[in-house]
Structure 1
Amino acid sequence: MALLRPLLTTMVLCSCGPVESLSCHLPQNSLLLSRKTFEVLEQMRRVSPVLCLKDRRDFQFPREMVDVSQLQRARAASVLQMLLQQMFRLFHTERASVAWSPALLQDLRSELQQQLQNLSTCSIQASLLDTEGPALALRRYFRRIALYLEEKQYSNCAWEIVRQEITRAYS
């Protein structure tokens, strides 16, 4: 599973490195917020993963999006913003409200919203980023997750598998 830690690291580099011409200055607390989001996702575990082994699925996270080569540093903020928006949408549904502790779900939503606000300060030119491919890949990835939840009738195990998937992708 592709991990987003390199992407988050690139985000910090973008805010203070040679990509400053893109006017992307992330607050110092960006990595702290991402760590807090990960912790909340971990706290949300309700079902033992062992009980849900039969429900596991490969959602095919688009790995090519987190390749953080020099040429892709400028794209990192945009891709991360798309990922956070999709995560926020997923955990902001009525079905999610039924599945998770209201307090933890609100904590997660708040963390994601804060990160999105931090990223909204980045004024990156869309033409430079060519985000159409990554945007489509992310929408498809989250669509596969939504279809899986529907197929499994939003069961506790289905939500646990999705929580694990999002945690892996986010960690």
Structure 2
Amino acid sequence: MALSISVLLALWMLCSSPAGSLDCDLPLSSGNFTLLSQMERISILSCLTDRTDFRFPQTLVDGSQFEKTQAMAVMHEVFQQILNLFGTSGSLTTWDETLLGKFLSGLYRQLSDLEMCLRKEKGVAESPLASENSRLAVKRYFRGISMYLKEREYSHCAWEIVRVEISRCLFFVNKLTEKFRK
């Protein structure tokens, strides 16, 4: 399902709110939304035939099932997977190096902030099975994205479809983050 430009713009605007916290100073992904938008190299409209359903994990859509530490563990996995995906050599040849560097730096900062939060929450009990199942769902989702890119030979349209999908992913991570604000 492809998202129109106006829907993407609306999602970006919804997610551009000031940073929140999870009992620590964990920022929302609004800066990364801006960078992903700026990274657009070709119109998504020219890539509609490349669309695919990546089977976004419903556990992220319905974050109500998560306790705070479970949500943080899932968000950690999402950020790590996005870093892995956009840190590949195929990504380096597709995107503007400066924007990609800023995007990766922003993700790394978020990952570091999240790791700090997880250390603070370490004493809080979490269900290891629920957290692990959700993290595995996230890994499967990103494995599907990686396989899609490989099958499409890392084409510009394939990366554009992935860029839009990662925006969607970050939108749901932001929703999950907002759930646990003080």
TM normalised by structure 1 equals 0.80
Q: Is the 8 A contact 2:73 2:135 kept in 1?
A: no
Query: Counterparts of 1:110 and 1:79 in 2: how far apart (Å)?
Result: 20
CA-to-aligned-CA distance 1:80-132 (integer Å, 9 cap, x gap): 11100000000001110001000010010000000011011122449614221
Equivalent residue, structure 2, for 1:106: 101
SS for the counterpart of 2:53 is coil
Residues paired across the two proteins, number = 153
Query: Counterparts of 2:168 and 2:25 in 1: how far apart (Å)?
Result: 23
Q: Is the 8 A contact 1:44 1:104 kept in 2?
A: yes
- Say whether residues 1:26 and 2:25 are aligned partners: yes
Query: Counterparts of 1:129 and 1:157 in 2: how far apart (Å)?
Result: 40
Equivalent residue, structure 2, for 1:152: 152
Q: After TM superposition, what 4+ stretches of structure 1 lie above 2 angstroms from structure 2?
A: 65-74, 124-127
Q: 1:102 to 1:140 in 2, by over 3 A?
A: same
Q: How does 1:14-93 map to 2 (within 5 A)?
A: 14-15=22-23, 25-27=24-26, 30-31=27-28, 34-69=29-64, 71-93=66-88
SS for the counterpart of 1:128 is coil
Q: 1:84 to 1:170 in 2, by over 3 A?
A: same
- Say whether residues 1:135 and 2:135 are aligned partners: yes
Aligned AA (1:80): M
Aligned residues with identical type, % of pairs: 40
Aligned AA (1:103): T
Residue of 110, 115, 127 corresponding to 1:115: 110
Q: Is the 8 A contact 1:26 1:121 kept in 2?
A: no
Query: Counterparts of 1:158 and 1:168 in 2: how far apart (Å)?
Result: 15
SS for the counterpart of 1:99 is coil
SS for the counterpart of 1:69 is helix
TM normalised by structure 2 equals 0.76
> Where do 5+ consecutive residues of structure 2 fail to align?
2-10, 172-182
> Where do 5+ consecutive residues of structure 1 fail to align?
16-24
Query: Counterparts of 2:116 and 2:157 in 1: how far apart (Å)?
Result: 37
Cα RMSD after superposing both structures: 2.5
Aligned AA (1:101): D
Aligned AA (1:165): E
CA-to-aligned-CA distance 1:130-159 (integer Å, 9 cap, x gap): 221011101110000010001101100000
Query: Counterparts of 1:136 and 1:98 in 2: how far apart (Å)?
Result: 29
